[in-house]
Amino acid sequence: MDTFALKIIAINKVFYEGNAKQLIFSAVDGLVGIMAHHEDAVIAVNVGEVKIQTAEDRWVIAISGAGHIQIDRNHVVMMVDTVEYPEEIDEQRALEAKERAEEQLRREQSLYEYAISKACLIRAIERLKIKKKYSAR
């Protein structure tokens, strides 16, 4: 299987740099998979799971924040605000954040605060989901 050059950059670190066979991430309108020689595109990335099949056929799993991805002549650059491994996620903290966000959503608040709380809730839920999925094994 052909590979492509992949770079995943978060605000505070370069998460992945190297060749990969496949990349799966969640776009605004659902999951998207990228393989070598994908057509050139710029895609908006949502909060969610990211799966990378490395050139050595190892699967790297992570959770990403929002951002975008650029595919340019077999060079793929993904730029998101955060990327974490499942084992980096603190379940307790995510749970607390989820409860906090839910509580804030129940209270009456401005449209802006609503949007922030909702985004927090989505992030917390995604974190928990992925943590659960990969800590069971």
Interacting residues with another protein (CB under 8 A): 7, 9-14, 27-29, 32, 39-45, 66-68, 70, 72-73, 77, 79-82, 112, 115-116
The two structure tokens encoding residue 110: 């401005």
Task: Classify the phi-psi angles of 8: left when phi > 0, otherwise alpha if psi is within -120 to 50, otherwise beta.
Answer: beta
Is the Cβ of residue 126 or residue 137 nearer to another protein in the bound state? 126
Is the Cβ of residue 69 or residue 130 nearer to another protein in the bound state? 69
Is the Cβ of residue 41 or residue 133 nearer to another protein in the bound state? 41
118 three-state secondary structure: helix
Q: How far is the CB of 19 from another protein (least distance, A)?
A: 18
State the Cα angle at 118 between 64 and 43, rounded to 5°. Answer: 40
Q: How far is the CB of 43 from another protein (least distance, A)?
A: 5
Q: Among residues 69, 65, 57, 70, which one has the least CA distance to residue 22?
A: 57
Q: How far is the CB of 47 from another protein (least distance, A)?
A: 11
